[in-house]
Amino acid sequence: MTGIRTTCAYCGVGCGIVATRQGERGVTIRGDADHPANAGRLCSKGTHLGETTGLEGRLLHPMIGDRRAGWDKALDLVARRFRETIAAHGPNSVALYVSGQLLTEDYYVANKLMKGFIGSGNIDTNSRLCMSSAVAGHLRAFGEDVVPASYDDLDEADLIVLVGSNTAWCHPVVYQRIQAARAARGTKLVVIDPRRTETAEEADLHLAIRPGSDVALMNGLLAHCRREGLTDDATLDVPDGFWTALDADGDLWTTARTCDVAPADLHRFFELFAATPRTVTLFSQGINQSIRGTDQVNAILNLHLATGRIGRPGAAPFSITGQPNAMGGREVGGLASTLAAHMDFAPDNVARVGRFWAAPQMATKPGLKAVDLFRAVEQGRIKALWIMATNPAVSMPDAGRVRAALADCPFVVVSDVMETTDTGLHADVRLPAAAWGEKDGTVTNSDRTISRQRAVLPLPGEVKPDWWIVAQVAARMGWADAFAYRHPADIWREHARLTAYQNDGARVLNLKAHAAIGNEAYDALAPFRWGGRPFADGRFSTPDGRARLVPVRQIALAEPLRGWPMTLNTGRYRDQWHTMTRTGLSPKLARHREEPLVEVHPDDAATLGLTDGGLARVATPQGDSLFRVTIATGQRPGELFVPIHWTDRQSTGGRAGLLPRPLADPHSGQPGFKNTPARIEPV
């Protein structure tokens, strides 16, 4: 048997996989040598996907409360409660909270229901927690949410700068590609990260900057390039005073002081960047998950735009995303802040999408972003909430408060593959959704490559695809004709038509070639990257075609709060994924880190009486949890690091989600998971 070509379930690298069914539920996995994202490579998580396809813990039947129910009864109940809530309290009293684990087709149908038929913008996604600051930064600079890079650029760069990314652990196949480029052409690697991670260990230069000083660093570098005569803003939209303000930020020594790095190291980085036109700057959660995330993104984009490091081979700013379909969700409008097909809520876009959908009631303004959405649940303004393929009771910041809000919400629906999740415990109705290996559709990875996820296994029990479940509810709410999809290809064609509908070059996203694709061709679809090399002609998606430099300033970095002398950082482990509902099923993956550890600098450990291997309580104003201590010289003094994965179901401690503040970036709404005031004490 040759196997079925599909795409990995986990991160935004989007590796191609050849999956071969073995017996009832078994699947063997190998990397797809023909997939452009990975050329056959896989990391540990992808390699062990076959250990996660059993039926252990699966939700196999619709449930109303603790009782099994038929699909008709469960769907009728969901439709009726949503209809009644809307009739009594208006369309903004209901919300959908979806996930980068959904396929593009699932996302499209959910977005259409909420924004075109219910008439509210209240659909947001856990991608808000991952990369919405990159989206907001792209929109401000380019006029469209386009990642102007591809993995091929990594092969052609002479310098790769990784900012706020432990790529070796979090995007391992991208890291393998970077290492291959270093071996093949001597590409230099600079890592900018407060922690000396596994990635930083192997870099040519590591700048362990003070957390939150990224804008100062990028502005300092841009000012250096300006002084060296390396900037050209003739074709850019440059606000008055942009350069003057940048110069006023000070010289290299001032920047070094703000960032708390050695001036000699900073100078080396500045010289290397200035001398290397083929530079790719990859950035991830260390940039995005900040209450200043969008400004940090724009500081990077400013640098690449003004120095011409964009739209050319080996030269680009590159937001690398967390989830398999974070980008597909962005393309169909799965964020509360966007409409559909890369359009915003400008009146002509609302009218255009409304015409296309023949929508009875279009949302006319953005809906609630994740943090605000759950606050609205807490305040009783959202009275019916449908959560799909995500676990906000663990993953949202200040998760204890989210859990209490869910418990008090009058009607909660959860679509999930697992029978018991921390979020599902609060559901009135649970709907069994198809898992990876069972569902069919498309995903878009971090470099705009669209790939098929294909079913390898039959749907177990009464499990259904997410798009089918949403379409059934829409039909029961009275919109059967608009949601009469029989195959994911029906949805794909409609999405492709919408991207091209009255889009005369206004947006880069345009899937016109797929608007009439047949079912067989869709089933056989090979991976392809949309958009070619964006902005190679110097034209952007703004009204006048010019990219914008966005003035961003470094804010004063706060001194430690009294009683909270440390700062807490969160992140991922190499072999675990999100809240471990899938990777937790693999014994081999569990061996890498068997329990959640708090990393502490040796000086702090000595001062606070913490011992390596001992237990400690990590506390913030939001909550506290137990962790096992590991003394780590890669930590900066005064800073702690904990992993995000563990939940109550797996461990009595390690509840990282209880700790961060529910504060968000003002532009993107992305929560600032990093730099939470904290303290630690031995127990």
Q: Contact positions toward ligand SF4, by CB under 6 A?
A: 8, 10-11, 13-15, 38, 42-43, 45-46, 171-173
Please state the closest distance from residue 121 (CB atom) to ligand SF4, in A: 31
Instruction: Return the amino acid letter for 298.
Output: N
Minimum CB distance to ligand SF4 smaller for 173 or for 393? 173
Do the beta carbons of residue 146 and residue 531 sit within 8 Å?
yes
Please state the closest distance from residue 61 (CB atom) to ligand SF4, in A: 30
Minimum CB distance to ligand SF4 smaller for 19 or for 368? 19
Do the beta carbons of residue 515 and residue 522 sit within 8 Å?
no
Please state the closest distance from residue 672 (CB atom) to ligand SF4, in A: 25
Minimum CB distance to ligand SF4 smaller for 276 or for 576? 576
Minimum CB distance to ligand SF4 smaller for 38 or for 554? 38
C-alpha–C-alpha distance, residues 45 and 14, integer Å: 12
Minimum CB distance to ligand SF4 smaller for 281 or for 453? 453
Minimal CA–CA distance to 457: which of 437, 477, 430? 437
Minimum CB distance to ligand SF4 smaller for 137 or for 329? 329
C-alpha–C-alpha distance, residues 645 and 623, integer Å: 17
C-alpha–C-alpha distance, residues 298 and 522, integer Å: 37
Q: Tokens at residue 289, please?
A: 């998950």
C-alpha–C-alpha distance, residues 205 and 635, integer Å: 17
Please state the closest distance from residue 8 (CB atom) to ligand SF4, in A: 3
Distance of CA 158 to the CA centre of its chain: 27
Please state the closest distance from residue 447 (CB atom) to ligand SF4, in A: 12
Instruction: Return the amino acid letter for 327.
Output: M
Strands 639-643 and 597-600: antiparallel
Please state the closest distance from residue 163 (CB atom) to ligand SF4, in A: 19
Q: What angle do CA 109, 115, 117 make, to 5 degrees?
A: 80
Minimal CA–CA distance to 158: which of 124, 186, 130? 186
Please state the closest distance from residue 27 (CB atom) to ligand SF4, in A: 14
Handedness of CA 336, 340, 341, 346 (dihedral sign): negative
Instruction: Find tokens 């998580």 and name the residue.
Output: 45
Do the beta carbons of residue 6 and residue 456 sit within 8 Å?
yes
Please state the closest distance from residue 503 (CB atom) to ligand SF4, in A: 30
Handedness of CA 9, 461, 25, 459 (dihedral sign): negative
C-alpha–C-alpha distance, residues 288 and 486, integer Å: 38
Minimum CB distance to ligand SF4 smaller for 14 or for 119? 14
Handedness of CA 339, 340, 346, 348 (dihedral sign): negative
Minimal CA–CA distance to 479: which of 352, 359, 383, 384? 359
Q: Which residues pair with 117 in a beta bridge?
A: none
Residue 418 is classified by DSSP as: B
Please state the closest distance from residue 176 (CB atom) to ligand SF4, in A: 8
Please state the closest distance from residue 322 (CB atom) to ligand SF4, in A: 10
Minimum CB distance to ligand SF4 smaller for 11 or for 463? 11
Minimum CB distance to ligand SF4 smaller for 375 or for 572? 572
Minimum CB distance to ligand SF4 smaller for 324 or for 460? 324
Minimum CB distance to ligand SF4 smaller for 42 or for 359? 42
Residue 282 is classified by DSSP as: E
Minimum CB distance to ligand SF4 smaller for 14 or for 293? 14
User: Which backbone phi and psi does 275 adopt, to 5 degrees?
Assistant: -90, 0
User: Which backbone phi and psi does 585 adopt, to 5 degrees?
Assistant: -80, -10
3 state SS of 222: helix
Q: Quote the strand ranges of 246-303, DSSP E.
A: 279-283
Kindly tell me the burial class for residue 40, based on how many C-beta atoms sit within 10 Å of its own C-beta (0-12, 13-18, 19 or more): middle
Closest residue to bound ligand SF4 by CB? 46
Cα dihedral value 189, 191, 197, 202, nearest 10: 20
Instruction: Find tokens 């109705």 and name the residue.
Output: 429
Q: Tokens at residue 543, please?
A: 């009204």
C-alpha–C-alpha distance, residues 571 and 576, integer Å: 11
Label residue 654 left, alpha or beta by phi (over 0 means left) and psi (-120 to 50 means alpha).
left
Minimum CB distance to ligand SF4 smaller for 437 or for 677? 437
**How many of the other CB atoms lie within 10 Å of CB of 511?**
22
Minimum CB distance to ligand SF4 smaller for 29 or for 335? 29
Minimum CB distance to ligand SF4 smaller for 160 or for 216? 160
Please state the closest distance from residue 97 (CB atom) to ligand SF4, in A: 23
